[in-house]
Structure 1
Amino acid sequence: MQVLIDFCDPHGGGSTLRCAFDAPLQTLVAQTLAEVKPLLDQVSALSQQGFWCVGYLRYEAAPAFDAALAVHQADGPLAWFGVYPQALPWPDETSAQETTQVSWRNTLSRADFEAHMAHIHQAIAAGEFYQVNYTAPLTGEFTGSPLELFSRLQRAQPQGYAAYFDTGLEQLLSVSPELFFDWQPGADRHSGQILTRPMKGTAPRGNSPAEDAALAQAMQASPKERAENVMIVDLLRNDLSRIAEPFSVKVPELFKVQTLPTVFQMVSDVTAHTRPGIRLTDVFTALFPCGSITGAPKVQAMRTLQTLEPEPRGVYCGTIGVVRPGGHATFNVAIRTVTLRGPAARCGIGSGITFDASAAAEWQEWQHKRAFLDRASTGFELLETLRLERGEFINLIAHLARLKRAARHFGYVFDENSIQAALQALRAEVDTDHNVWRVRLLLAANGQVQAEKFIHNQLLAPVLIAQAATPFEATKSEFTRFKTTRRAHYEAFAPTNPEVFDTLLYNVQGELTECTRGNIALKLDGQWLTPALHCGLLDGVGREMALQQGRLREAVIRLEDLPRVQAVAFVNSLRGWVQARLITPITS
């Protein structure tokens, strides 16, 4: 029954809790609602005796604390805790298993989603509640190593409240970025300290630092996002008041932006001094489930959720946490949480719905939130394609800088000495006086480097580039912003006609972006232009060099501008500047 806990310090210090637990002295399991509170009392007593207690509560445990909270029948234990004499060091990383993968699919159709959104809007208009956190599960088929999948999920969603549980019945892989509560009970007759940090408000990451800053600022200033956040802050303030010293509930941080690899999230801090004598059971009675994943008012929101969501949520939207010796308790809100049972995988996705929320925007938000799953679903390597000519790697500094940015983004190990050694070893194998070589430089998550060489064949210019027949919808993907071996979204647009060299892509707004294997340059009104990064494209090294030399200028170029194009060039670091001719879409 292996358990891993990797919790950041909720107070921003350096006391990260990153440890393992194995072979529990005993396991505490609640199968019925009547057993939940006594189990938490056992956890409290055992922690006071010097034991570590690590476990979870399913969302369906809610009626144990308030019978008015409506849920479905649970599909597993309502609560589970392992009791351990000590915390062990984090285990050594195992080698990556490339066979580990999950193929995810929606269980909710777009039509049903929109119908449920309409129902929620009607209920809000009727005054039943003012926000509800609607969710639906993604299901998938899993193969490989649960620990490898957990490692990938952590890289996709780092610096949160991550936990891995193998209880025998199931494996729980949680990489939640949301703190439920951090509570340090008071000794004897002293007050305790509690911090909650509800997360409400989401925006996608941009295609450039400037767009990132604009998106984060727009989310923080959005009346809708702020209203959604403050509704839950008010709910948490009310919940905390049930266990707090009079006048001690405070909101020291409001509308703070938290930056994650695939999204921005808005969080607020709500704190209080808990009254002397408050027990862990009292904290859960006041707070569980967290209002950020129910809505407000909580009772009516959960009644509506029970009618709209046909299945139990399980540990998703429940909580996972640890009670240290002495009673210090830290629990997450179990979002971004995958449950594995044999080959069956499950992960919920949801969002807070208010009166001014639109179905289209919320659906898109769900796609942004699942990006961490898409990243972790299969393994991939970071990729750079270099030109090796007469013993020299062309634009090597720029390539390594881009590779380093990608490694930082994806959480991959980047050791420049190892990379340089692999490149020099490859260069020693080739005849530096003849031939131009195409070199594929691959970087794995653990920092392993592989360099491959191929004889480079020159092109006969001009090459033919066909305009795509449909929009390229992956412009907001991190696998478009960064170069990796995951290229299915590009390969879907690769030309099938052997006479065509590449395809010119454009986004759903009708803005040109790039080709599938390089960037594009177009001469308009006497100036050479290339699409701006915020349109959704890779920052190619050849493009970067041309911009630095003043040969190119960034601009937004639209489909309707194409009739005015005076000349076209394909641009990348491998091939340089290649004269091209643009033609209408070819489908055969």
Structure 2
Amino acid sequence: MTAISALIDFSSRAEAGGPRLRQAFGVPRETLVAHTPEQVRPVLDAVQSQARQGRWCVGYLRYEAACAFDPALAVHEADGALAWFGVHDQALPWPEEIGEVAEPTLAWGPALARADFDGVLARLQEAIAAGEFYQVNYTSLLHGRIEAAPGADPRAQALALFAALRRAQPGGYSAFIDDGATQLLSVSPELFFEWQDGRLLARPMKGTAARGATPQEDAEAAAHLRGSAKERAENVMIVDLLRNDLSRIAEPFSVAVPRLFHAQALPTVWQMSSDVTARTRAGCTLADVFAALFPCGSVTGAPKVSAMRMIRALEAAPRGIYCGAAGVVRPGGDAVFNVPIRSVTLRDGRATCGIGSGITSGSQAEAEWQEWRHKRTFLERASAPFALLETMAMEDGFFRDSAGHLARLSAAAAHFGHPFPVETVARRLRRLRLDHPSGLWRVRLLLDAHGGVQAEAFPHAAAPPRVRLQLADRAFDASDSEFVRFKTTRRAHYDAFAPTREGIFDTLLWNARGEFTECTRGNIAFRIGGRWLTPPPACGLLAGIGRERFLREGRLAESVVRVEELPRVEALAFVNSLRGWVDAELDGRAP
């Protein structure tokens, strides 16, 4: 494979069926680098000159480059080049093989402590009440390291991780840029600006809501985001800031806002964005565009000068390329840059990733904290390989609930962006039936991120007539995770609750609201008032195939059951497709 220094996969302005800018770049013919604020504008001028000579320029600006355009924009001292661009004579086809190397595992250190987060939010709201600013985008950096096999090629590992990140956060504005010392792996959904034929489009992204666990909940989440006074106000503040920024380089009366409050569906969150457009004045340069807009107001707050001053006081380290800009200037001078949020930066095997949100007078600590959790879900997806999993019962050559299992596997593949080779799956299962025509078997069906299928059969004993469960000693804090709603090989959150005492079959879990959810290996049923009840998916659980069958048959009904209601429980049952319906009792208490 040709040595790759950069990959660009950006949405087009047309977006509705328009072609993506999807190119690779080899070793640059030269690099344009700014190490000091005084060098940033000359580098951008050189980039524009090279593009007008028919070359491609791919690179980034660190957030700390802001002081090159206005000394009043307070920043930390940068920990690398303020601006870096590789110059290329030509673009190369996209190398499909980058995703074929097994991706490495990323081990992340502890995140910002909740108490510290709450303290910062209180300080920010005091400053907002005092009139210092309207909004501040507060962020924190996560630090981690790559755990790769000895002798693994670092560049191949970086590319494989980039491929994993793109699967976790598809679409948008993806960029891989290797400057020789640092690798940027950006899967940002946010457009900073696109400048083409004198027309400038900025698309600030402000306003976030978690995706729903069901289609109905998802639609409700999107509607709530679009209608939220707090989220709309947060978005409008930044739109107004961008309108003002664009007016500095725009032809008179050309600044417009053709689209407000657009809710965009990302894999784990809904994001609200708005479009701000303008026609740039004659003689406007790339450096002028950056001077007017950089950093993007969505990652600073408003007003920008006072917000950045507070960011400098509260954030302990430079943001780096995170919250700066990364993109490409094409032959002729058209330019498109993302805001590198949802990005990982690698250096000597060490990784950083920034997470943040906009804080306003209406912000609530718990809601903002949960927003940070949801925003980092893309990172959790990509930080360790996993496969989609179905566990099926095969008895005398026939699969139990096969249609339900395959439908759930298909839905999980669509959610995570995994290929779903229907014929390959059918062929593997048919082979198992032929090889094991009699007896009871546990079938383990796996689908990996590349569409690879594995299917194995293991002898399985009949389910016991009754099992003993233990009650979890703490809340199950992963109950809102997509790795709970979908069945995968990522099971550390369940393994942490595995039974430790002899004779205990499984652990009964409950969430932070005190609601029962499921067991670690199946669903749970409670008989209360003569009716059999099972928690709904909104409580945070995997909707098991056996559970769904018993719901269809009318044997079960959905209802929230709280821990405090245990004295009312007349009987328990453990439920899954593999074992069916198994009577259960809770250790230390016999319903």
Range of TM-score over shorter length? over 0.9
Alignment of 1:35-74 (within 5 A): 35-74=39-78
Cα distance in 2 for residues equivalent to 1:236 and 1:140: 34
Alignment of 1:422-437 (within 5 A): 422-430=428-436, 432-433=437-438, 435-437=439-441
Q: CA deviation at 1:70?
A: 0.8
Look up the match of 2:127: 123
Alignment of 1:397-546 (within 5 A): 397-430=403-436, 432-433=437-438, 435-546=439-550
Cα distance in 2 for residues equivalent to 1:40 and 1:164: 20
TM-score for the superposition, normalised by structure 1: 0.96
Q: Which amino acid aligns with 2:523?
A: N
Q: Are 2:12 and 1:9 aligned? A: yes
Q: Which amino acid aligns with 2:423?
A: N
Assess if the C-alpha contact under 8 Å between 1:99 and 1:143 holds in 2.
no
Aligned to 1:401, the other structure's residue is in SS state helix
Per-residue CA shift, 1:108-153, capped at 9, x if unaligned?
3333322222221121111111111111110001133111111111
Aligned to 2:109, the other structure's residue is in SS state strand
Change (3 A) 1:231 1:584: farther
Per-residue CA shift, 1:353-380, capped at 9, x if unaligned?
1112122322222111111111111101
Q: Are 2:102 and 1:90 aligned? A: no
Cα distance in 1 for residues equivalent to 2:205 and 2:353: 18
Q: CA deviation at 1:558?
A: 1.6
Q: Which amino acid aligns with 1:386?
A: M
Assess if the C-alpha contact under 8 Å between 1:382 and 1:442 holds in 2.
yes
Look up the match of 1:562: 566
Assess if the C-alpha contact under 8 Å between 2:343 and 2:353 holds in 1.
yes
Cα distance in 2 for residues equivalent to 1:67 and 1:555: 59
Look up the match of 1:104: 108
Cα distance in 1 for residues equivalent to 2:237 and 2:30: 40
Unpaired runs of at least 5, structure 1: 186-191
**Larger CA deviation: 70-79 vs 462-471:** 462-471
Alignment of 1:199-348 (within 5 A): 199-348=205-354
Aligned to 1:450, the other structure's residue is in SS state strand
Q: Which amino acid aligns with 1:178?
A: E
**Larger CA deviation: 522-531 vs 62-71:** 522-531
Q: CA deviation at 1:98?
A: 4.7
Aligned to 2:305, the other structure's residue is in SS state helix
Q: CA deviation at 1:501?
A: 1.2
Q: Are 2:184 and 1:172 aligned? A: yes
Q: CA deviation at 1:585?
A: 8.5
Cα distance in 1 for residues equivalent to 2:118 and 2:510: 28
Per-residue CA shift, 1:429-475, capped at 9, x if unaligned?
22x23x20000001111111111111111222121122222111111
Q: Which amino acid aligns with 1:397?
A: A
Cα distance in 2 for residues equivalent to 1:388 and 1:116: 55
Change (3 A) 1:95 1:262: closer
Change (3 A) 1:417 1:502: same
Aligned to 1:428, the other structure's residue is in SS state helix
Assess if the C-alpha contact under 8 Å between 2:99 and 2:159 holds in 1.
no
Cα distance in 2 for residues equivalent to 1:579 and 1:115: 48
Look up the match of 2:151: none
Aligned to 1:285, the other structure's residue is in SS state helix
Q: CA deviation at 1:336?
A: 1.0
Cα distance in 2 for residues equivalent to 1:68 and 1:479: 45
Per-residue CA shift, 1:517-549, capped at 9, x if unaligned?
111122222222211111111111111111122
Assess if the C-alpha contact under 8 Å between 2:103 and 2:161 holds in 1.
no
Cα distance in 1 for residues equivalent to 2:579 and 2:111: 45
TM-score for the superposition, normalised by structure 2: 0.95
% identity of equivalent residues: 61
Assess if the C-alpha contact under 8 Å between 2:136 and 2:302 holds in 1.
yes
Cα distance in 1 for residues equivalent to 2:453 and 2:461: 25
Cα distance in 2 for residues equivalent to 1:107 and 1:168: 28
Q: Over aligned residue pairs, what C-alpha RMSD do you find? A: 1.6
Look up the match of 1:195: 201
Unpaired runs of at least 5, structure 2: 149-156
Look up the match of 2:366: 360
Per-residue CA shift, 1:156-205, capped at 9, x if unaligned?
111110111121111110011100011113xxxxxx21111111111112
Change (3 A) 1:569 1:111: closer
Cα distance in 1 for residues equivalent to 2:531 and 2:254: 64
**Larger CA deviation: 65-74 vs 563-572:** 563-572
Q: Which amino acid aligns with 1:201?
A: G
Q: Which amino acid aligns with 2:256?
A: K
Aligned to 2:97, the other structure's residue is in SS state coil
